A and B are shown apart, each in its own frame.
Chain A
Amino acid sequence: MKLEYFSMLDRIATRDAETLVAEATLPDASPVFEGHFPGFPLLPGVLMIECMAQAGGWLMLARQDFARMPLLAKVGTAKLRGMLRPGARLSISARLTHDGSGYAVMAGRIDSDGQMAAEAEYTLRTLPFPDAALEALVRARGVELGLV
């Protein structure tokens, strides 16, 4: 994970047509932790949501063979149950609950150390990639993550 670059996932562990599970380990140090909070580093709740959204995004990229770019459009509900500290190992999952036309509704969760740390229902909008260069970058990242 590189929090300051919004690189939230380390590896895609499993995937099928409607679910994806990714793994990530929180870094020991990050500029994010310097401010949130000094002397008491915690993963900000909005970044927990970002982790779940990215897992759902990779699932949609795989389902649509990178034809469209998923963007977080709505967080319907979110419960941030646990505090995630540097070094924590995360299992981040996404489950497709509704595949709409140009959008997808997802259920996401984060588990760490055998406990559910967060869960959310969120909506991704899918749009055409703005250019081929970004699509190529995303594809390359998908290879790094083990998606492709």
Chain B
Amino acid sequence: MPTTYERIAAIIAETASVEPGRITPTAHVINDLGIDSLDFLDIVFAIDKEFGIKVPVEEWTEQVNAGTAPAEQFFVLGPLAERIDELVQGARGSKG
């Protein structure tokens, strides 16, 4: 069964036409992969659907802009996968 990171990597490769070889756990979605805001929006939509969650991009962006969280926590793929796992677990907890 693919990991969360692998599922996100597949979404990015397909949605934003990024070569799979460029997608690594340390890659920053924007700085390293060159994904623009509209493609990122498509990726978030695909993640929302794939995992049955609502990725809180606005909240994350506010935290980064306010300096209360580093951008890497949300926009580098390895940590992003961890955030998605947390959201999935949170969604399961709220349903159970």
Residue numbers of A with Cβ under 8 A of B are 73-74, 98-103, 105, 123, 125
Contact = CB atoms under 8 A, between A and B. Distances in A.
B92 to A, nearest CB: 19
Interface in B27-65: 38, 41-42, 44-45, 48-49, 54-59, 61
Given A101-B56, A103-B44, A73 B49 contact: no
Nearest to A127: B58
B38 A100 contact: no
20 contacts: A74-B41, A74-B42, A100-B41, A100-B44, A100-B45, A100-B48, A100-B55, A100-B57, A101-B54, A101-B55, A101-B56, A101-B57, A102-B41, A102-B58, A102-B61, A103-B41, A103-B44, A103-B45, A105-B45, A123-B41
- List of 3 A-B pairs having minimum Cβ-Cβ separation, nearest first: A102-B58, A101-B57, A101-B58
Contacts of A105: 45
Interface of B: 38, 41-42, 44-45, 48-49, 54-59, 61
Contacts, number: 34
Contacts of A123: 41, 45
B83 to A, nearest CB: 12
B48 A98 contact: yes
B37 to A, nearest CB: 8
Contacts of A98: 45, 48-49
Given A74-B42, A101-B44, 20 more contacts: A73-B38, A74-B38, A74-B41, A98-B45, A98-B49, A100-B41, A100-B44, A100-B45, A100-B48, A100-B54, A100-B57, A101-B56, A101-B57, A101-B58, A101-B59, A102-B58, A102-B61, A103-B44, A123-B41, A125-B41
A125 B57 CA distance: 12
A17 to B, nearest CB: 16
A125 B44 CA distance: 12
Contacts of A102: 41, 57-58, 61
Contacts of A100: 41, 44-45, 48, 54-55, 57
A101 B56 CA distance: 5
Contact of A99 (B49, B54, B58): B54
